[in-house]
Amino acid sequence: LWGRVDILVNNVGISGPAGNAEGVDPEAWDYAMQVNVKSVMLMAKYAVPEMRKVGGGAIVNLSSVAGLRAGHPGLLYATTKGAIVQMTRAMAGHHGADNIRVNAVCPAVIDTPMLQAVVDLQQDQQAYLQQAGDEHPIGRIGTAEEVAFAVLMLASDEAGFTTGANLCVDGGITA
């Protein structure tokens, strides 16, 4: 089975520049768009022909609940994650006939190094983490393993009839 591409997981994301439309730095915006959006397209550009050669495959894009709802303080991050949601849907339509499924996972607050970088800036780190957990109906932040299991499911043959989906791993925050 070596030498073939069956699965692509696009797990990329930087916070990018802070701010709303008035305050965001346009050059930092362009760079973050390249990292968060263009890289997903480029990976698919080269994986899709290889998947087609072997009769199909699965692409799982990592987005975020920030791409589905209002409330994120950074316009850039929310915009790029929303672009991935729509790119997932469009790619599912484009590549379904090639037996290539394209889905996205949209996590909420997850215990990762990206979260830790934000926590490190807080005066009361425990209070910040408690508040972040309390915002989720399930009452806690998620784990990287919980996101990984969602990716694994969407990449598996058991999800063979699932394409164009955006699976929220969010402790109920988008419910």
Residue 113 has pLDDT above 90, yes or no: no
Rounded to 10 deg, the angle between the 39-53 and 75-95 helix axes is 20
Going by DSSP bridges, is the β-strand pair 57-62/100-107 parallel, antiparallel, or unpaired?
A: parallel
Per residue in 30-61, pLDDT tens? 999 999 999 999 999 999 999 999 999 999 99
Going by DSSP bridges, is the β-strand pair 7-10/100-107 parallel, antiparallel, or unpaired?
A: unpaired
Tell me if residue 128 is catalytic: no
Residue 63 has pLDDT above 80, yes or no: yes
Average pLDDT value over all residues in the chain: 94
Going by DSSP bridges, is the β-strand pair 142-143/166-169 parallel, antiparallel, or unpaired?
A: unpaired
Per residue in 124-136, pLDDT tens? 888 888 888 889 9
Q: What is the pLDDT of residue 1?
A: 54
Catalytic site residue from 31, 46, 77, 128? 77
